[in-house]
């Protein structure tokens, strides 16, 4: 019984990590790895794909790994898309006035 509970919690944690890596960390890392090349080959564009799920999401920075609440895959998905949107907007502000463009 204890093992099943541990396994269930482990699967939830792994699911959260996978969803967040696929939808946020991957695009974030790729953008930063390519940023110097994009700047050098201006005019260039950075395009981040998102979904409307970000509009329904909020990120609880006090419980970023969802340890205090129930795991809801759609909610984690929305949070990852919201993080992607926030990153895109922040990057757009940083690159404002440059010869490359940021699209959301």
**4 sits in which H/E element:** helix 2-20
Please indicate whether residue 103 is annotated as part of the active site: no
Residues 15-57: pLDDT tens digits? 778 888 888 888 889 989 998 898 888 778 888 777 777 788 8
Q: At 43, which CATH number? A: 3.40.50.720
CA geometry: angle 81, 84, 90, nearest 5 deg: 145
Residue 31, domain extent = 2-103
Catalytic residue, from 54, 77, 100, 103: name it.
77
Q: How many domains does the chain have?
A: 1
Residues 55-84: pLDDT tens digits? 888 888 887 666 777 777 778 888 888 888
């Amino acid at each position: 019984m204890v093992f099943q509970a541990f396994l269930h919690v482990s699967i939830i944690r792994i699911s959260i990590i996978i969803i967040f890596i696929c939808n946020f960390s991957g695009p974030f890392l790729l953008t930063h790895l390519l940023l110097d090349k994009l700047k050098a080959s201006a005019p260039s564009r950075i395009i981040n794909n998102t979904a409307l799920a970000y509009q329904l999401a909020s990120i609880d920075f006090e419980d970023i790994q969802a340890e205090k609440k129930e795991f809801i895959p759609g909610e984690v998905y929305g949070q990852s898309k919201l993080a992607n949107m926030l990153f895109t907007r922040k990057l757009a502000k940083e690159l404002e006035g440059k010869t490359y463009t940021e699209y959301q």
